[in-house]
Structure 1
Amino acid sequence: MYLSKSRYCEGVQCEKILWLNENKPNTSDDNGSEAILETGRKVGELAKGLFGDYTDVDYDTDINVRIEKTHNLLKDSPNVIAEASFAFNNNFCSVDILKNDADGVEIYEVKSSTEIRDIYLDDVAYQYFVLTSAGLKVKKAAIVYINNEYVRGSELDMAQLFNIGDVTDIVLEKQDEITSNISRFSDLGQSEPDIDIGPHCFDPYPCSYWQHCTQDLPTPNVFDIAVMQRRSKFKKYYEGKISFEDLENEDLNPKYLEQIDFELHDREPKIIKSAIDDVLNSLNYPLYFIDYETCQHAIPEIEGTKPYQQIPFQYSLHIIEKEGSPLKHKEFLASSDDENIIETFARNMIGDMPEDGSVIVYNKAFEATRNKEIAEMYPEFREDMDRFNDNMVDLMVPFRERNYYTRQMEGSYSIKKVLPALFPDDPELDYNELSLIHKGDEASNAFLSLKDKTPEEQKPIRKALLDYCRLDTLAMVKIWEKFRQVTDDVQ
């Protein structure tokens, strides 16, 4: 079997992935890797200049052309080659950064992660195998990764942004393992490998063939239990306790058993009036229903931010000024070229919530943490950020604590599950009816994509962002109204 470094790493995770990619790729349900790949590409491009001037081997050309160009560049040592390409038998790799010295070469594998993971060691060890088998002397093997403690100044400091981990000794220890794995991968037969599901389906990466490999399991099954730790699910799976019927009388967390019970016996909704009243009684007008959308940059673009820091770029705000007042809506969506997005976001939010009312959110930890970060970056906003956090009320709590629960929530307290459970026939509250953007990661990726688009191309995306975020806060208003309704009904 022909192997690249990515295919080798797939085989390390599970040989069935290799076989399915070759024989049944249409059974893959991969639907979220584009943004991750784009982040990796951007980090990789920046890192190419880590050691100064370099020569790039064009990744889009034929493999043989790339190998030949690399061979010619190696003659010009010392130099730095990006995407240097090599082959040995049916094994191929491109090295992100190759330092080519008179007495040998150094391999630098670039990752957009903030730590060195075991699979990265497999990646570099495979490259070492290919290069040394092709006759090169490899002096050093290293992994370049993101320093998440780096705080950007006015200019980007690459030496501070990247950490470099020397993994040469580990790579050398793995060479027998590499040889054994390559031999085993080359012997994959015509039939799908008989490999059962297990923790390897999610480690080091979620496998895109999960649906294919679990298609014969009963529905619902142990893997549908919300919040339950994965290792606990696999423990029950290996014990043969897979269906909800199998699990009904097991010694499990009461919340897991409650989900199973509601599913099997179609129980009536559970509503603990006192817990919901506690939420309602904690509210003070004006009511500010607010939701933030954020994005992350592996390479920090804003002075004072760290890699992968959550950057708030949008909010939706529904306001009820006093009992019986009409619902008002305000919103903010940053310009994609605003170099002070966080400051602009905060100023607009403070202007839109001037009074000392309840700040109502869904999942308090997220918005509260963003407010603390804003206060740290901009001390002039601290008083208002503290005010928001002191007045914050989390509508998620009754659902998380199972004080309000229905079968349709399927054990989850995510608003994406709660809303259709409470309002099953309202198209206005259906995220599936939205165009382009239906969940948070799509919103983040959409905003990040705006920089590369013309104003005309941005229009439908910006509208979709506004529509999506607006639904999040409208959903909270509807949940608040439902709380008032059900507590009145229970009385």
Structure 2
Amino acid sequence: MSIDLSKSKYCKCLQCEKILWLTKYKPDCVPKKNKDDIIERGKKVGELAKGLLGDYIDIPYDEDLSIMIEKTDELLKDKPNIITEASFSYNNNFCSVDILKNDLEGVEIYEVKSSTSLEDNPIYLDDVAYQYFVLSNLGLNVKKAYVVYLNKKYIRGEELDINQLFIKDDVTDIVRKKQDKVRCNVDKFNKFFEVHGKDNEPQKDIGIYCCKPYSCDFWEYCSRDLPKPNVFDLKGKMRKATKFKKYHEGKISFEDLQNDNLGDKYLEQIDFELHHREPKIVKEEIKKFLSSLNYPLYFIDYEAFQCAVPAFEGTHSYQQIPFQYSLHIIKEEGAPFEHKEFLAEIDDKNMIRNFAESMIKDLPENGSVIVYNQTFEESQVNKKICKMYPDLKDEIKRINANMVDIMVQFSDRNYYVKEMQGSASLKYVLPALYPDDPELDYDELSLVHKGDEASQAFLSLKDKTPKEQEEIKEALLEYCKLDTYAMVKIWEKFREVTI
């Protein structure tokens, strides 16, 4: 089998040729993941960028690629013009150029990405180099090549300014130097697929390319024969490269690793897994944490979404936009908890301010504001609110000053059991502390079971009927409420084990 390359297929082959073989012959081996938001984000950024160079002529997608190529040929003769999705094929190597500037001297390539960095994504250069290869071999004079990406320093005003939103990075010299390599790669990939047909699966060991530059969808398939648990199940900050180094040294299972030179937390995770240790509870540290809390106790959790293109005045690309919180309150020792909540309207242009004002009203006193993963609430949300709304700064700073991170007791391993599997994530911790409790089981929830589902569900409200909107809103409130109730239950567990 030979393969008709496109720029996306070429980039996948650069990471690992087997990705493309598996995509074609074993697509069912990919775990079901909702990537609609990522795809939609890329489409939105791409559509917006089309107007960067002025008026343009768009070539609509057609399954018959020859129609797109013929339309491109016609438009190329009518220069100067700007063509979006201009399509070309050279020796069965196909590409569509996001934006093509076409004039009397030649053409310029503009490849649009929804990222905020070029340095972290070297594959973008390979993408453009492949397009340069196709066009130049068709006899076109490619004068310039650019990668267009989002400017993370741009703060949106009342109106969106796409000229400030996007950065155009000239990569012409780099992609020209890659041309010999592109030709070699194209030949290599075609030979690979001539050898490996449907009944001849490539035999390729796992490696760092399984997660660079992107996490491969076929990881579970390719690692299916590894012992469980294994080096890749170690939780914490160990680099993927270090894990693969251990793997290639033959240190794969927890038995292989138990006497290795690893950090204390990794060895502890291994030890608990292999030897079924009793729960580790550092009572003095947990007591110290409990004694540091001041009533009223505010257990709060935020939900937020991100937009590649800033949707609100005063925000930047991929800023966390808070749209919901749940709040459990215990006013004094022995008092029953109260619950309050906030859920924004999907079309509210003042969503962030309304979120902040509601939170300030619901946290009127200087009690402890208890969160799970303080970096998110304090740094990624509250500090941004301070910048956007200086008149709210004092109150938000007051909330931040009272903030306490309950997760630290698990990340510091002051409380640890085997079932946490080395993780301090609430989704591991809660079932480990309260096993088989349906009231605390996220899987028992309707529609929304985790954070990314919450943001997707909220954003989907725009396209739903009133009845569907009510069902989604109810599911969002139910999910977020469980997050803060979970913290209350953890606090109760801490009190129980330190008596």
Provide the residue aligned with 1:318 in structure 2.
328
Residue 385 of structure 1 aligns with an amino acid whose one-letter code is I
Percent identity between matched residues is: 64
How far apart, CA to CA, are the structure 2 residues paired with 1:363 and 1:344?
Answer: 23
Matches within 5 A, 1:252-271: 252-271=262-281
How far apart, CA to CA, are the structure 2 residues paired with 1:91 and 1:119?
Answer: 18
How far apart, CA to CA, are the structure 2 residues paired with 1:42 and 1:449?
Answer: 15
Provide the residue aligned with 2:183 in structure 1.
179
Provide the residue aligned with 1:139 in structure 2.
143
Q: Give the Å deviation of 1:234.
A: 1.1
Is 1:120 the equivalent of 2:131? no
Distance 1:4 1:30, change over 3 A: farther
What SS does structure 1 have at the residue aligned with 2:226? coil
Matches within 5 A, 1:128-207: 128-188=132-192, 189-190=196-197, 191-207=200-216
What SS does structure 2 have at the residue aligned with 1:80? strand
Provide the residue aligned with 2:350 in structure 1.
340
Deviations 1:139-181, CA, capped at 9 Å, x for gaps: 1111100000001111111110000001111111111111111
Q: Decide which of 371, 380, 383 is 2:382's aligned counterpart.
A: 371
Residue 319 of structure 2 aligns with an amino acid whose one-letter code is Q
Q: Decide which of 208, 215, 232 is 1:223's aligned counterpart.
A: 232
Provide the residue aligned with 2:100 in structure 1.
98
Deviates further, 258-267 or 455-464: 455-464
- For normalisation by structure 2, the TM-score amounts to 0.96
What SS does structure 1 have at the residue aligned with 2:176? helix
Q: Decide which of 442, 460, 475 is 1:464's aligned counterpart.
A: 475
Q: Give the Å deviation of 1:60.
A: 4.0
Is 1:396 the equivalent of 2:407? yes
Unaligned segments of structure 2, at least 5 residues: none
Deviates further, 324-333 or 476-485: 324-333
Q: Give the Å deviation of 1:284.
A: 1.2
Provide the residue aligned with 1:276 in structure 2.
286
How far apart, CA to CA, are the structure 1 residues paired with 2:468 and 2:93?
Answer: 42
How far apart, CA to CA, are the structure 2 residues paired with 1:288 and 1:310?
Answer: 22
Provide the residue aligned with 1:417 in structure 2.
428
Is 1:441 the equivalent of 2:486? no
Residue 425 of structure 1 aligns with an amino acid whose one-letter code is D
Q: Decide which of 23, 26, 30 is 2:25's aligned counterpart.
A: 23
How far apart, CA to CA, are the structure 1 residues paired with 2:256 and 2:117?
Answer: 40
Residue 34 of structure 1 aligns with an amino acid whose one-letter code is D
What SS does structure 2 have at the residue aligned with 1:187? helix
How far apart, CA to CA, are the structure 2 residues paired with 1:200 and 1:389?
Answer: 41
How far apart, CA to CA, are the structure 2 residues paired with 1:103 and 1:197?
Answer: 47
Residue 404 of structure 1 aligns with an amino acid whose one-letter code is Y
Distance 1:155 1:396, change over 3 A: same
Unaligned segments of structure 1, at least 5 residues: none
Deviations 1:207-250, CA, capped at 9 Å, x for gaps: 00101111111011010011122122111111101001111111
Q: Give the Å deviation of 1:356.
A: 1.5
What SS does structure 2 have at the residue aligned with 1:92? strand
- For normalisation by structure 1, the TM-score amounts to 0.97
Backbone CA RMSD of aligned residues:
1.2
Residue 352 of structure 1 aligns with an amino acid whose one-letter code is D
Q: Decide which of 76, 79, 85 is 2:78's aligned counterpart.
A: 76
How far apart, CA to CA, are the structure 2 residues paired with 1:425 and 1:123?
Answer: 49
Is 1:43 the equivalent of 2:54? no
Q: How many residues in Structure 1 have an aligned counterpart in Structure 2?
A: 488
What SS does structure 1 have at the residue aligned with 2:152? coil
Deviations 1:96-144, CA, capped at 9 Å, x for gaps: 0111111111110000001112100110111111112223221111110
Q: Give the Å deviation of 1:353.
A: 1.1
Q: Give the Å deviation of 1:445.
A: 1.9
How far apart, CA to CA, are the structure 1 residues paired with 2:62 and 2:341?
Answer: 43
Residue 481 of structure 2 aligns with an amino acid whose one-letter code is R
Q: Is the CA contact (8 Å cut-off) linking 1:30 and 1:208 kept in structure 2? A: no
Q: Give the Å deviation of 1:2.
A: 1.0
Q: Is the CA contact (8 Å cut-off) linking 1:16 and 1:193 kept in structure 2? A: yes
Residue 28 of structure 1 aligns with an amino acid whose one-letter code is V
